[in-house]
Amino acid sequence: MNNTILYSAIDTPIGELTLTSDGRSVTGVYMQNQKHGATRTKDWRRDDAALKQPRAQLQAYFTGELREFDLPLAAEGTPFQRRVWRALCDIPYGETISYGELARRIGQPTASRAVGLANGQNPISIVVPCHRVIGANGSLTGYGGGLDRKRWLLGHESKGSLI
């Protein structure tokens, strides 16, 4: 079995992002100094061409030309984490929901803390929009990439797009 992780990096308004792939699907989008980020190992190989489409879509997102990503995704996680991450993809661009609401949406209304933990371990940031989940009182709560980045992403999305 080939354990090579393909990666690329792009500069964005919130700093450099590292993108990873298994050769078929996006497996990660990581910010610099991100909590639960990825660490490059000898199994990593830079391949900008293999990640051309994810790079282009992220660049279009940051210029306001893209609201919904259309990429094959393969995040590694527990079945519960993957359920949470799939539900994140249903939060529309420019909208936010609470952790409690996300827990209700996956059919586990008392699991808001577990949902918060799963949200924080999302390996495909921005594309799987964990930044769109906020506290029940509307406050910006923890974000693996830092609250400044979360604030920037939410502000970016609230401005609408160029299309």
Say if residues 87 and 102 touch (Cβ distance below 8 Å).
yes
Single out the catalytic residue among 130, 134, 153, 154: 130
Catalytic residue flag (residue 130) = yes
Edge-to-edge strand list for the sheet holding 26-31: 26-31, 17-21, 5-10, 44-46
Residue 52 CA to residue 59 CA, distance in Å, equals 11
> Quick count: other Cβ atoms within 10 Å of Cβ 12?
16
Q: Which amino acid is at 51?
A: L
Which residues are annotated as catalytic? Answer: 130
